[in-house]
Amino acid sequence: MNETEFIAALRALPLHPGARQLQDDCAVLDIGREALILTHDTMAEGTHFPAGADLADVAWKLVAVNLSDLAAKGAEPVGVLLGHSLGPDDERFLAGLREVLDAYRVPLLGGDTIKAAGGRTFGLTAIGRATHVPVPDRRGAKPGDAVYVTGTLGRAMLGFEGKAEHVEAFARPHPLLAEGRALAPYVTAMMDISDGLLLDAWRIADASEATIALDSAAVPVAAPERLDDCLRWGDDYELLFTLPDGTSPPVAATRIGTVEPRGFAPLFLNGHPILNAEGLGYQH
């Protein structure tokens, strides 16, 4: 199975209402007057980082990508649970873990440690507290909404390729927690861009049963001569969100499209329909 097929099969299992039909990056659990946000990401050697990578960077990114999911829910981090695979350079992993936890003032709650025979795998569960209810969802985009993105896309791609000024964007992304909290009361839908703008816009459109029309010329990118790559590469962890037309975003962001009534395609790029998600971004 590929990732899409496996997640579709999981939907046949008993799901908690907070799972949001597995159409979001986080689960939302209502507990009394509070809403807890839970998310989990895994990083595997050979897929998410090469053998010989600085494990301090791996630890930073492992925490950061989970916090980015919390940011897309407007959540305030409560703590993290770590799944660690023992091996060489554990000291470097611990150094990076301390740096990122200190940087975002997030405590470690616990986790599990194993010894793996194959390539190393690290997992992290992040728990957050909602700062606004209803908690932002991928499923809320409405026809007439404006589509926005924060930041500049393609920086992680250039960093992966070794461009010195963008290396940190790939190795040590910065989750937009403050921006997510500021946006939460206003957005109709929101997610972070981890797998590419086009694929993630498709996901919002599909979850919202709407169509998103994007204007590629409006998208801020780090390498205009490689616009198509910047739209598909991912790993930027910027926020993609929709707002009612006429609502100004409370953070720096660029309007890149419009939500339209659901037609025969979930996504239009420069007026051209895109009929399936293959090749739009990174998928396992």
The one-letter amino acid at 193: I
- Burial category of 163 from C-beta neighbours within 10 Å (exposed 0-12, middle 13-18, buried 19 and up): middle
The pTM of the full predicted model, rounded to 2 decimals, is 0.94
Rounded CA separation 25/4 (Å): 14
Each residue's pLDDT tens digit, 166-207: 999 999 999 999 999 999 999 999 999 999 999 999 999 999
Each residue's pLDDT tens digit, 108-140: 999 999 987 778 999 999 999 999 999 999 999
Residue whose C-alpha is closest to residue 213's, from 151, 274, 152: 274
Domain 3-130 adopts which CATH fold?
Answer: 60s Ribosomal Protein L30; Chain: A; (3.30.1330)
Q: Give the H/E segment covering residue 63.
A: helix 55-71
CB 39 within 8 A of CB 175: no
User: Over its length of 284 residues, how does the chain's per-residue pLDDT go in tens digits?
Assistant: 888 889 889 999 999 998 888 888 899 999 888 999 999 999 998 888 888 899 999 999 999 999 999 999 999 999 999 999 999 999 999 999 999 999 999 999 999 999 877 789 999 999 999 999 999 999 999 999 999 999 999 999 999 999 999 999 999 999 999 999 999 999 999 999 999 999 999 999 999 999 999 999 999 999 999 999 999 999 999 999 999 999 999 999 999 999 999 999 999 999 999 998 888 887 65
Residue 257 phi, psi dihedral angles, 5° rounding: 175, -170
Residue 262: CB atoms within 10 A of its CB come to 14
Q: Taking the domains of the chain in order of start, what are their residue ranges?
A: 3-130, 138-274
Can you list the alpha helix ranges (DSSP code H) found in 72-151?
90-104
State the chain's maximal CA–CA distance in angstroms: 56
Q: How far is CA 225 from the centre of its chain?
A: 25
Match domain 138-274 to its CATH number in 3.40.1360.10, 3.90.650.10, 3.30.930.10, 3.40.309.10: 3.90.650.10
Query: What value, to the nearest 5°, has the Cα angle with vertex 40 and ends 36 and 43?
Result: 160
